[in-house]
Amino acid sequence: WQMALQLLLDMHRANIDADVIVYSSAISACKESGQWPVALKLLGDMWIIQLTPNEMSYNGAISSCETGGKWEVAIYLLRQMLEQQLVPGIITYSSAISACGTGREWQRGLKLFEETPSKRDVISYNSTITACEKGGEWQLALHVLLSMQGEVLPDAISYNSAISACERGGKWQIVLKLLACAVAAVHPSVITYNTAIAAFAEASHWLLCLQVLAEMKAAEVEPDVITYNSTIVSYDKKGQWEAVLDLLRVMDSEDMLPNVITFSSALSVCERAARWQLALQLLANMQSKAQVTPNVTCFDSVIGAASATAEALPQLPVLFRRLQLLQEDWRTWSLVRGCE
């Protein structure tokens, strides 16, 4: 996008008038780079120099609003297009709907979806499902998913967004059905499986998590660290520390690098099971072997596990001191960030 702006600047210095195509291309370049403020400024500059924007200009500007969640601007520009007797295409409407979703304005997104004049495609449906998902409206997300089947076929993104909406709504039973539909209709991605596993983990259905993990591998969809992290969470409620160790071994055998969430989730299970020695071992391993720096949550879990038995009390002063040092580091970092 910097090159596009430099081109405009060079043309201005050379007294060469940039036309609509040049400005529209620059707006699109800014959109692709997530530079929505610059894209909107360029559109405004076109009016200042009495250069009337065309469909491409508006499409780029409205699409850029999606990144910043500027739903008010997206709707305003859409209305402005109509006033200029320009015809917004399905991509324009989809971008405006996505901007509403990013801005947590699912009602406005749904209204735009209903106003779409041309035949709606899978992108417009997906944008609407995602808007409902971000607004926590799992029932509406399902309604849109079901209604699209009379017009277009859902794709993996359609199912991902609907599953995510139901996961956020705590509807793991519906997630199970949607996952089965996705497997039958499309080729689910790692995101599809991960979102489903997260829903089952929140409900502590560890058997379902393991079942989906096995199905992933059978379908040749490679699990990632998020897959394993969510599965570990499913063991928390019952303190199934042995199962956590098994999963950590599987990760190691697959050369899967654990992150701080992996360890904090595992340590939470240790706390629940009052396995203070294992918690101390994991805390040591995450620094020495995995090269992962513990966070406050990790220390809280280890302290919680150690506090459950008198045998571990001598460990507490050292743990509290390490936690204090970590909190001081965070405060220092926050102050430095605040001064930037």
- Listed as own residue / partner, the contacts of 81-89 with beta carbons closer than 8 Å and 24 or more positions apart are 81/55, 84/52, 84/53, 86/54, 86/55, 86/58, 87/55, 88/55, 88/58, 88/59, 89/55, 89/59, 89/118
pLDDT > 50? residue 337: no
Are 202 and 251 in the same domain? no
d(CA 37, CA 89): 23
Are 89 and 178 in the same domain? no
d(CA 135, CA 169): 10
Categorize the per-residue pLDDT at 233 as very low, low, confident or very high, splitting at 50, 70 and 90. Answer: very high
Query: Would you say residue 323 lies in a domain?
Result: yes
Query: Would you say residue 189 lies in a domain?
Result: yes
Task: Tell me the pLDDT of the chain averaged across its residues.
Answer: 85
Are 254 and 327 in the same domain? yes
Q: Higher confidence at residue 209 or residue 281?
A: 209
Instruction: Report the percentage of the chain scoring pLDDT > 70.
Output: 88
Given this model, what pLDDT does residue 321 score? 67
Query: Would you say residue 229 lies in a domain?
Result: no
Are 137 and 202 in the same domain? yes
Mean pLDDT of 222-239: 96
Are 193 and 261 in the same domain? no
Q: How many domains does the chain have?
A: 3
Are 201 and 246 in the same domain? no
Token pair of 257 as six digits: 């690098």
Query: Would you say residue 213 lies in a domain?
Result: yes
Top mean-pLDDT range of 28-42, 54-68, 187-201:
187-201
Are 197 and 263 in the same domain? no
Sign of CA dihedral 300, 306, 309, 310: negative
Query: Would you say residue 340 lies in a domain?
Result: no
Find, among 181, 191, 229, the residue nearest to 209 by Cα: 229
| Single residue among 202, 224, 246 that ends a domain in this structure | 224
Query: Would you say residue 291 lies in a domain?
Result: yes
What amino acid is encoded at 110 in this protein?
Answer: L
Are 2 and 104 in the same domain? yes
Domain of 74 in residue numbering reads as 1-108
Which range is least confidently modeled, 165-179, 214-228, 229-243, 322-336? 322-336
Are 182 and 262 in the same domain? no
pTM of the entire predicted model: 0.79
